Chains A and B, each alone.
Chain A
Amino acid sequence: MTSVLAVKDLAVSFATPEGAVAAVDGVSFSVEKGECVGIVGESGSGKSQTFMAVMGLLATNGKATGSIKFQDQELVGMKIDKLNKIRGSKMCMIFQDPMTSLTPHLKISRQLTEVLVLHKGMSERDARAKAVQMLDRVKIPDAKRRLDQYPHEFSGGMRQRVMIAMALICEPQLLIADEPSTALDVTVQAQILELMQELRSQGDMSIVMITHDLGVVAGLCNRVMVMYAGAFCETAGVDDIFHDPQHPYARGLVGSIPRLDRPGEARLTAIRGQPPNLQHLPMGCTFQERCDFVFERCIAERPALSTFAPERAKACHLKGFDKEGKVVR
């Protein structure tokens, strides 16, 4: 079976006045059909830029190298008109701010039907019918009437739904969602997550969910990739990440969130220090300054992401942690 997305040695760097910033440092991963992969990690760790590179949407000072295959087609270096046939129809991305995808002065009917008419050669009428159907699917009440409204006539949560409808209208094989619910209120966020869950169970679309909210990942994803300083430090099934994390950063991350379902829990296990400057990464492990288990090898040699159990990989020189949470060297 071929993967929906297969990325190999992807590096993203940005040219800045202070020199090059290596935002993504040679990552390899794949996304399979029908799965939902969560991407978590600190701000600035490269979550968004990894997938901006996949979409070919890097800022002009950014450059991607390596290989990005979408359904076996190489995207790196692909001609823009060919790429445009794929992104926005077979592979879509949604963002935290819906207004990055919506045009303020156009009725949403136009924004929804345009792709169908242009890309899929649908008649105006069929496209409208499909648009109404899509708005229904993302649970916008009274879809027929609302189709002819402008983005500003929708509330924040509703606008987010419109953006999701727009992404889904061409029935993409891959949906990349970058913090789609972060800016929303808790109760509205829950509605959007419920919607994402429903979409997931309906078809065989693959979803990549970028978020720093581990709760969102727990509820939605089957697999998780944890990013730190431009690379993946641990990848695993969702249960393993939460119940048996093996990279010290992943362990710290899971231990540092207050939980509503554990009353009386004492202190959070904070990770000390702060993320490193991408322009001055140490030679060895990028987590060494914050790690409680650092030893000589960590300083001398950067650990590579390597498989240590079926479907599990980590980038750490330690053997791991046992069931009691004790370190095994």
Chain B
Amino acid sequence: MSGEPLLSIKGLKVHFPTSSGGLFGATRPLKAVDGVDFDVFPGETLGIVGESGSGKSTIGRAVLQLIKPTAGTVAWLGTNIAGFTRAQMKSRRREMQIVFQDPLASLNPRMTAGDIIAEPLDTFEPQIKADERKARVQEMMAKVGLLPQMINRYPHEFSGGQNQRIGIARAMILKPKLIVADEPVSSLDVSIRAQIINLLADLQKEMGVALIFISHDLAVVRHVSHRVLVLYLGKVMEIAESQVLLSRPRHPYTQALLSAAPVPDPEVERGKKRLLIEGDLPSPLDPPSGCVFRTRCPKAQAQCAQDIPALEPRGGASDHLVACLFPD
């Protein structure tokens, strides 16, 4: 990727206070995101993949300031917006939108599809005339594959896939520069999932919007993303161009993730040697010292308990970053 990034995240930390903990009610923070750096360039899709509790959604929300970062900078077109108030964020909201995992739960059940999709319009262009408003909503509906005559229906009258289209239409109607899509297809059926993935890809091409695509499914993330960021317990393990990450993963965790994902082809599965990593994810309340992955890493050495590996370029490519003391 070249040129100026749209979004540049540096040293991002989001720590949540928890009440459980030591003596005298001392609180220890849950470090949901713990020192994350990445950029997003105009028009690209950056995939963020990670298991539960890795901090994927928290990053997405911190980008939009729906959660206040504990530390770090979130530079939007060169301006640090970390800690911006709602009012300060308002003008930026036009340019940054979000699509959520559970389509039905994220839509107001008492509003019609048309009013939901028009919400950003009503906020930012309140002077708009009724017939133009309707025309723009219907144009957007057609773009996301909804019949424009369904404009007056309510969310419960739509299927999950259709509700996700409503959410996408709402996010796209102001032609934002960035959309954060947080597990946008995880709650959908396989056949519907493919429709939404194709739709996002088409809209991105057509409208040139940048996308942060968050998912636990590496195959989906790989399919839609130009670059992929692999997250584990609030820390970035590896970032690379999507093809490179797949063909030449350098972090042991990325390698394990790739090997763990079942491939829908019996021949491939039969010939596969699985590189299983043991145990469960450690609690983010009590992350391992040194490298957070060391307790499950097949290559861990004594040094991994001491030193925190920095995210550094590896293999001669400036855009392939790996956080491992003993990378491949």
Contacts and interface: CB of A to CB of B under 8 A. Distances in A.
Interface of A: 42-43, 155-158, 185-191, 193-194, 212-219, 238-239, 242, 252-261, 263-265, 267-272, 274-275
B159 interface: yes
B277 interface: yes
Contact of A190 (B201, B276, B281): B276
Given A268-B194, A270-B191, A270-B194, A214 B223 contact: no
Given A194-B276, A258-B219, A260-B246, A274 B162 contact: yes
A213 B257 CA distance: 16
Given A254-B264, A259-B263, A271 B269 contact: no
A139 to B, nearest CB: 9
Contacts of B276: 187, 190-191, 194
Given A186-B51, A186-B216, A155 B190 contact: no
| Size band of the interface chain B makes with A | 35 or more
Contacts of B318: none
A64 to B, nearest CB: 25
Given A43-B189, A242-B266, A187 B256 contact: yes
Given A216-B262, A274-B161, A239 B216 contact: no
A185 B216 contact: yes
6 contacts: A185-B51, A187-B51, A187-B260, A187-B277, A242-B264, A264-B243
Given A193-B262, A212-B189, A238-B266, A274 B159 contact: yes
Contacts of A43: 189
Interface string B185-223: 000011111110110010000000000000011111011
Contact of B219 (A188, A254, A260, A272): A260
B286 interface: no
Contacts of B243: 263-264
Interface in B250-288: 256-269, 272, 274, 276-278, 280-281
A252 B191 contact: yes
B123 interface: no
Which 8 A/B pairs are nearest by Cβ-Cβ distance?
A215-B262, A258-B223, A256-B194, A190-B260, A270-B194, A185-B51, A219-B269, A268-B194
Contacts of A157: 280
Contacts, number: 135
A187 B218 CA distance: 12
B198 A42 contact: no
A214 B260 contact: no
B192 A274 contact: yes
A215 to B, nearest CB: 3
Contacts of A239: 266-267
Nearest to A238: B266
A190 B281 CA distance: 13
B127 interface: no
B58 to A, nearest CB: 17
A7 to B, nearest CB: 25
A275 B264 CA distance: 22
A262 to B, nearest CB: 9
Nearest to B262: A215
B252 to A, nearest CB: 12
Q: Which of A155, A193, A216, A261 has the most CB of B within 10 A?
A: A261
Contact of A259 (B264, B266, B277): B264
B52 interface: yes
Given A187-B51, A187-B256, A261 B197 contact: no
Q: Which of A157, A194, A254, A274 has the most CB of B within 10 A?
A: A274
B262 A219 contact: yes
Contact of B190 (A158, A242, A257, A267): A257
A42 B191 contact: yes
Contacts of B272: 219
A212 B190 contact: yes
A206 to B, nearest CB: 19
B198 A267 contact: yes
A252 B197 CA distance: 15
B186 to A, nearest CB: 11
B247 interface: yes
Given A185-B280, A267-B201, 13 more contacts: A42-B191, A155-B280, A185-B281, A186-B218, A186-B257, A187-B296, A188-B280, A253-B190, A263-B243, A263-B247, A268-B223, A270-B195, A271-B194
